[in-house]
């Protein structure tokens, strides 16, 4: 294989189109190969080994296998960057499954490997710019990753303020509102035992994978990795729903069609209910400058867990113009308008106009600049939008789950509507946006949904966090400003963190000079990859391990939560 790599590198270097500043251009090579460029193919045929490897003789005609060639060229072993070369040197190499390639195929089956992690993220500037540090793990690499985790930092927020729990409280977790900070996949698995089959509604507004939200697991298999990210969360989410429960997922055109097929696979095509079009209205700014039709909507996919789902039909008030059209009255005193000679449309003034699957009556924050709802969170959704979804499939005291909580709109609306809720968010801004916003709701904040329901305040919620271990070192890596900080952190990690079985720390230490030559970003990536992802958070099974220094209060509350008191 190495000989083939060397021969191909030498051969391609003879084509001036493929070389800039004495360096081969991978993207250009791939582009010409997929285009079946005649000059490139002639060049490849000049080498006997390359000809044998990438061409097939079919009845005297040589056929170029461009997909095989593309995969070979895109392999990190071919023209490796300094980061990849260092990883190879220390033995930190990840093999990729043939089921997820960098071709244009859509991968909807995960028989061997699955992307299961949402790692450390960081908020940048004024957009939701989140970095997802990801690894693709084979099943035999996953042992305790999805085991229930220890919850810590328990607090109650109510009208009187913030209160740390003492462990003496009598807590009925089935009747509490919960806000959880931590990796959402692992949090979902941690709440599973208590809430399986008890959630009435799930609403999520996940990363759209647009490029603007920096969903960059690996640029070479963008769609398939995003689908893997969604698949393992949606699979457990489905089992959290009641038999008559529903899920709504908001998305844009980048992943809508991929996601629809995935949801058909998980929930069953027969449980697809509606594709709701939310018209954004008045689209302006950079979106309007595109040389194409301006995208003016987002999509909300609505699925139920079974055919026997709950649905409360929703209505809009009639406008004066609409009411004026119902000018006729039948013998029973009912107002109607004539559609055809044999068809009449009756007015139900008590209910109004039935809402369709095109929602053009709720403006986005792109067109509302002075709404009291606006928090400054870049992807915040209007309360009226979430209120309509909650109203359509739940009743009071039902449980609503949002495991991509963001600014907390779902929890805030559910609170004011008398629903119980569970919100999960990993980002640091959970304090800045979600908790702060819910505290205002409890004290009587009267924004849109509150005005409609005459909200006066009240209620409470519990806040907790998954107890970090290796996740804490990921956060430290991301926040480091200098290479010197990272090297100091690496020394600490060797002593206290769980290092992957793939790594011998001595090998990194003996090559520390080369490590220092990597960019700061690559140093961060490498240190994060050395960590054992099964040990991101402390498992509940380790509750009594003194090394983790879990307080007696946390021990007692965790045992109550997991039903082991």
Taking only the tens place, the pLDDT of each residue in 299-346 is 999 999 999 999 999 998 888 888 888 888 988 888 888 888 888 878
DSSP classification of residue 435: I
Residue 125: the pLDDT is: 33
Give the CA angle between residues 201, 192, 428 to the nearest 5°. 80
How far is the C-alpha of 302 from the C-alpha of 357, rounded, in Å? 10
Domain boundaries, the chain: 2-79, 153-159+172-314+355-465, 470-561
What pLDDT is attached to residue 108? 55
What is the spatial distance between Cα 478 and Cα 476, in angstroms, rounded to a whole number? 5
Contacts of 2 (CB under 8 A, 6+ apart): none
- Predicted confidence at residue 353, as pLDDT, reads 83
Report pLDDT for 126: 34
Which residue from 206, 129, 122, 126 is spatially nearest to 377, judged by alpha carbons? 126
Residues 6+ apart with CB under 8 A from 210: 252, 254
User: Is 147:540 a contact under the CB 8 Å cutoff?
Assistant: yes
Question: pLDDT value at position 12?
Answer: 93
The pTM (predicted TM-score) of the whole model is 0.81
DSSP 230: H
Domain 153-159+172-314+355-465 superfamily per CATH = Vaccinia Virus protein VP39 (3.40.50.150)
Ranges of the chain whose pLDDT falls below 70: 1-2, 76-77, 93-136, 138-141, 208-224, 282-288, 349-350, 369, 446-453, 565
Cβ atoms of residues 439 and 157 within 8 Å:
yes
Distance CA 440, CA 442 (A): 5
The CA distance from 298 to 9, in Å, is 46
State how far Cα 469 lies from the chain centre.
Answer: 22
Three-state SS string across 176-224, please? Answer: CCEEEECCHHHHHHHHHHHHCCCEEEEEECCCCCCCCCCCCCCHHHHHH
Non-local CB neighbours of 524 within 8 Å, separated by 6+ positions: 477, 478, 480, 486
Burial class (CB in 10 A: 0-12, 13-18, 19+), 34: middle
Cβ–Cβ < 8 Å for 536, 143: no
Q: Decide if 509 contacts 499 (C-beta within 8 A).
A: no
Residues 6+ apart with CB under 8 A from 551: 152
Q: How many CA atoms lie within 13 A of 32 on its CB side?
A: 18
The gap from C-alpha 224 to its chain's centroid, in whole angstroms, comes to 13
- Element at 439 (helix H, strand E): helix 436-442
In sequence order, what are the residues at sequence separation of 6 or more whose Cβ sits closer than 8 angstroms to the Cβ of residue 143?
534
Q: How far apart are CA 97 and CA 136, in angstroms?
A: 9
**45-84 residues labelled b (16+ CB within 10 A) or e (exposed):** eebeebeebbbeeeeeeeebebeebbbbbbbbebbeeebb
Contact 74, 102 (CB under 8 A): yes
- The reported pLDDT for the residue numbered 215 is 40
CA distance 205 to 342: 45
Taking only the tens place, the pLDDT of each residue in 171-200 is 999 999 999 999 999 999 999 999 999 999
């Amino acid at each position: 294989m190495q000989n083939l790599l060397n021969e191909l590198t030498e051969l391609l270097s003879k084509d001036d189109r493929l070389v800039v500043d004495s360096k081969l251009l991978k993207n250009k090579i791939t582009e010409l190969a997929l285009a079946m460029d005649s000059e490139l193919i002639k060049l490849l045929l000049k080498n006997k080994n390359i000809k044998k490897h990438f061409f097939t003789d079919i009845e005297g005609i040589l056929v170029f296998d461009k997909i095989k060639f593309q995969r070979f060229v895109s392999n990190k072993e071919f023209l490796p960057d300094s980061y990849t070369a260092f990883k190879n040197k220390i033995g930190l190499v990840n093999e990729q499954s043939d089921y997820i390639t960098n071709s244009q195929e859509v991968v909807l089956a995960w028989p061997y490997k699955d992307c299961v992690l949402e790692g450390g993220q960081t908020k940048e500037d004024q957009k939701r710019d989140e970095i997802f540090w990801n690894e693709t793990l084979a099943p035999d690499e996953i042992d305790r990753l999805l085991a229930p985790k220890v919850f810590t930092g328990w607090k109650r927020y109510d009208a009187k303020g913030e209160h740390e729990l003492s462990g003496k409280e009598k807590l009925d977790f089935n009747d509490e509102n919960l806000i959880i900070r931590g990796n959402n996949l692992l949090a979902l698995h941690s709440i599973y035992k208590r809430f399986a089959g008890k959630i009435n509604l799930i609403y999520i507004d996940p990363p759209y994978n647009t490029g603007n939200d920096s969903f960059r697991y690996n640029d070479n298999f963008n769609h398939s990795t995003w689908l893997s990210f969604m698949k393992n969360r949606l699979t457990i989410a489905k089992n959290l729903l009641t038999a008559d429960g529903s899920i709504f997922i908001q998305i844009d055109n980048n992943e809508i069609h991929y996601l629809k097929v995935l949801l058909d696979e998980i929930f069953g095509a027969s449980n697809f209910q509606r594709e709701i079009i939310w018209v954004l209205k008045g689209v302006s700014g950079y979106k309007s400058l595109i040389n194409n039709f301006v995208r003016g909507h987002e999509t909300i996919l609505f699925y139920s867990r079974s055919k026997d789902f709950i649905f409360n039909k929703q209505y809009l008030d009639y406008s004066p113009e609409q009411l004026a059209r119902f000018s006729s009255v039948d013998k029973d005193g009912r107002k109607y308008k004539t559609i055809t000679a044999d068809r009449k449309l009756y007015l139900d003034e008590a209910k109004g106009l039935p809402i369709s699957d095109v929602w053009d009556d709720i403006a986005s924050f792109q067109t509302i600049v002075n709404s009291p709802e606006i928090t400054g969170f870049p992807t915040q959704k209007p309360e009226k939008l979430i209120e309509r979804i909650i109203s359509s499939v739940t009743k009071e005291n039902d449980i609503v789950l949002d495991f991509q909580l963001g600014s907390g709109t779902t929890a805030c609306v559910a609170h004011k509507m008398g629903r119980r809720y569970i919100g999960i968010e990993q980002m640091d801004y959970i304090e800045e946006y979600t908790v702060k916003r819910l505290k205002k709701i409890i004290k009587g904040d009267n924004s849109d949904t509150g005005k409609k329901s005459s909200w006066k305040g009240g209620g409470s919620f519990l806040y907790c966090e998954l107890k970090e271990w290796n996740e804490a070192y990921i956060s430290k890596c991301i926040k480091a400003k200098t290479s010197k900080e990272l090297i100091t952190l690496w020394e600490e990690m060797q002593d206290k963190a769980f290092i992957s079985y793939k790594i011998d720390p001595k090998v990194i230490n003996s090559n520390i000079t080369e490590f220092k030559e990597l960019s700061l970003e690559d140093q961060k990536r490498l240190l994060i990859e050395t960590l054992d992802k099964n040990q991101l958070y402390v498992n509940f099974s380790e509750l009594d391990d003194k090394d983790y220094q879990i307080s007696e209060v946390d021990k007692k509350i965790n045992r109550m939560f997991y039903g082991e008191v």
